[in-house]
């Protein structure tokens, strides 16, 4: 595959690693990438193991102008393992949409794919924007994991009440784009 050329401003304000997970809301990552780039951010994407079932890496690569990290077990182009370089290069990691799976894994210290490994190695802010069924979001175990991560310094952009993939309305709908972008801007000032 040919090297992707970065589009947009040459001097990006900050570098965002956008983590995309296996949620029906994964398509909203496209809007997040576009809006961040309009505001001068450089965006690179990393996908959880199953995110490719919801959105193709090529879509993210085309919109971001950067290679999408999707596999933990491939040979890096440089000496530093990719998950470490992703964490070192990012000023902020934004996981949007964030599933119950990734929240639980990070809270338990599980690093079994490129995205969870990058989060584990992060030194800057990590922000989760959950999107899932309301019953999943309201699950007391998940709520305990969210509270635990907040205590450890992770940030959350709370989901809103909205139409869910199951057909009902409830809390678990991904936060509005403006709220997500504003949080990233605030944490990278």
Q: Which of 181, 182, 180 is nearest to 158 (CA)?
A: 180
Q: Is 177 exposed, middle or buried (0-12, 13-18, 19+ CB in 10 A)?
A: middle
The CA distance from 117 to 160, in Å, is 28
Q: Enter the DSSP assignment of 25.
A: G
**Backbone phi, psi, residue 105, to 5°:** -65, -45
Distance CA 110, CA 154 (A): 16
User: Rounded to whole angstroms, how far apart are CA atoms 154 and 94?
Assistant: 11
Handedness of CA 103, 99, 65, 12 (dihedral sign): negative
From 30, 45, 117, 166, the catalytic residue: 166
Task: For residue 166, indicate whether it is catalytic.
Answer: yes
Task: List the catalytic residues.
Answer: 166
């Amino acid at each position: 595959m040919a090297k992707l050329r970065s589009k947009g401003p040459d001097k990006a304000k900050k570098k965002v690693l956008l983590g995309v997970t296996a949620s029906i809301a994964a398509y909203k990552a496209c809007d997040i990438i576009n809006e961040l780039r309009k505001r001068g951010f450089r965006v690179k994407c990393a996908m959880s193991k199953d995110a490719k079932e919801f959105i193709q890496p090529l879509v993210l690569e085309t919109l971001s102008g950067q290679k999408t990290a999707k596999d933990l077990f491939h040979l890096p182009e440089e000496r530093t393992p990719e998950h470490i370089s992703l964490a070192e290069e990012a000023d902020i990691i934004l996981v949007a949409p964030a599933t119950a799976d990734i929240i639980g894994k990070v809270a338990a210290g599980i690093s079994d794919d490129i995205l969870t490994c990058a989060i584990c190695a992060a030194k800057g802010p990590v922000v989760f924007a959950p999107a899932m069924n309301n019953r999943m979001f309201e699950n007391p175990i998940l709520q305990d994991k969210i509270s635990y991560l907040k205590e450890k310094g992770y940030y959350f952009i709370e989901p809103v009440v909205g139409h869910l993939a199951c057909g009902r309305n409830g809390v678990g709908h991904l936060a509005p784009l403006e709220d997500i972008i504003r949080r990233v801007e605030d944490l990278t000032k």
